Amino acid sequence: MSLITIILSILLPPLAVFLNRGLGTEFLISLLLTLVGWLPGVIYAFYVNSK
C-alpha cells in the first residue's frame, strides 16, 4: 500500500476503496460500514486494500 492509500484509508475509507477496487460491492460495504461508524470503515478499508 502506498502512503496516499494509507492516508485515505484513515480519513476517507470509501474513497480509498473506490480508488483501488472501483465501484462495486466492496465500495458499498465500505460506505455502509463508514456510515455506521468510522472505525469499522477504516478497518475494512485496510483489509480490502491490503489484499
Closest by CA to 13, choosing from 50, 49, 41, 32, is: 41
Give the pLDDT score at 30.
96
Does residue 41 belong to any structural domain of this protein?
yes
Question: Are residues 28 and 36 in contact, defined by beta-carbon separation less than 8 angstroms?
Answer: no
Instruction: Identify the H or E element spanning 51.
Output: none
Domain range enclosing 38 = 7-50
**pLDDT tops 90 at residue 2:** no
Please name the amino acid found at residue 26: E
Does residue 2 belong to any structural domain of this protein?
no
Structurally, how many domains does the chain consist of? 1
Please name the amino acid found at residue 3: L
Q: What is the pLDDT of residues 3-51, one digit of tens each?
A: 999 999 999 999 999 999 999 999 999 999 999 999 999 999 999 999 8
